[in-house]
Homo-oligomer: A and B are copies of this chain.
Amino acid sequence: MTVLSGVVPPVVTPLTENFEVDYPSLTRVIENLLDGGVHGLFVLGSSGEVVFHDDASRARIIEHTMKVAGGRVPVLAGTIDPATERTIANARVAQSAGVDAVVVTAPFYARTSQAEVGDHFRYVRDALDVPVIAYDIPVCVNIKIERKTTVTLAREGVIAGLKDSSGDDGNFRFCLLDLADKPDFFLMTGSEIVVDNALQMGAHGVVPGLANVDPHGYVRLWNHAKAGNWEAARKEQERLCRLFEMVWVSLPRTSPGAAGVGSFKTAMQQLGIIETNLMARPQRRIEGAEVARIGELVRAAGLGA
């Protein structure tokens, strides 16, 4: 497997005003990230609105991403479905497209047990030739992938990494400690706002949605951390925290989902990267004074002209 490390943003999926994937904008999103120096791409994650896209659309998005990336960095693809068989089917499509790894959550909608979550990953892994990265996001799937499950699956060779979007930094640290003897196991944080901390703990990678807006910032943060310059890392992180405040601007008029990714899209539109800030239905669109406020945050962070 390609060794993964560094800044691996979850790629936002831009839409046209007709709610179709806007591929020219998607190209610009990816080029903007690569210009920023990111070390990998994670397409069809939560920030990519994966569950809003059907199988055909997902396949096209992966293909397009692979073509634009052109081997410059590794590409991970989210294959996020409620249960095992549908996950395998989508993961095979991603594998055929040549992705470097698939990223898989615990099952959702139906309530599964921790043991069944483990089996889910085993079944998926058995059906594929591509590495599987576990995606721990209890706020979406209603179950945490427990430390013991992560470590067991890692030692069995079932999963090649973990993307931790649980917000449980202590648990993440124990996973790092438990798997310190497996340096090829890829432990990534999904946080935007405690990335310096995660790197100080020893995280191998970071997957910040906000990097769609400011990839240079997260790459600088990564480089400061690699150089052991923790004070500079903290300053960069604090600037990014202030930028991150955009995710609360449209609450509670919109949902947290629409407020978060929608604010990234709004900022990216203002920066000329994408055409619209539209979110897939039924998510409400950020508008009016919210847009203006996000613009202020973008400029305050030193972005834009």
Contact = CB atoms under 8 A, between A and B. Distances in A.
Interface of A: 19, 46, 49, 51-52, 54-55, 80, 82-86, 89, 107-113, 115-117, 119-120, 123, 139-142, 167-170, 173-174, 177, 191, 193-194, 196-197, 200-202, 228, 230-231, 234, 238, 241-242, 252-258, 280-284
Nearest to A168: B167
Contacts of A89: 54
B281 A109 contact: no
Number of copies: 4
B113 A280 contact: no
A83 to B, nearest CB: 4
A254 to B, nearest CB: 6
Contact of A110 (B52, B113, B197): B52
Contact of A257 (B84, B111, B197, B238): B111
Contacts of A111: 139-140, 255-257
B54 A119 contact: no
A109 B46 CA distance: 9
A256 B230 CA distance: 35
B197 A169 contact: yes
B140 A84 contact: no
Nearest to A260: B111
Given A109-B140, A110-B140, A112-B258, 6 more contacts: A46-B109, A46-B110, A111-B255, A115-B253, A119-B284, A173-B193
25 contacts: A46-B110, A51-B82, A51-B83, A51-B109, A54-B85, A109-B109, A109-B140, A111-B140, A112-B257, A112-B282, A113-B252, A113-B258, A115-B284, A119-B282, A123-B282, A169-B169, A169-B197, A170-B194, A173-B241, A194-B201, A196-B200, A197-B197, A197-B200, A200-B200, A200-B230
A153 to B, nearest CB: 13
Contact of A228 (B120, B169, B231): B231
B85 A19 contact: yes
Q: Which of A139, A194, A254 has the most CB of B within 10 A?
A: A194
A204 to B, nearest CB: 15
Contacts of A253: 115
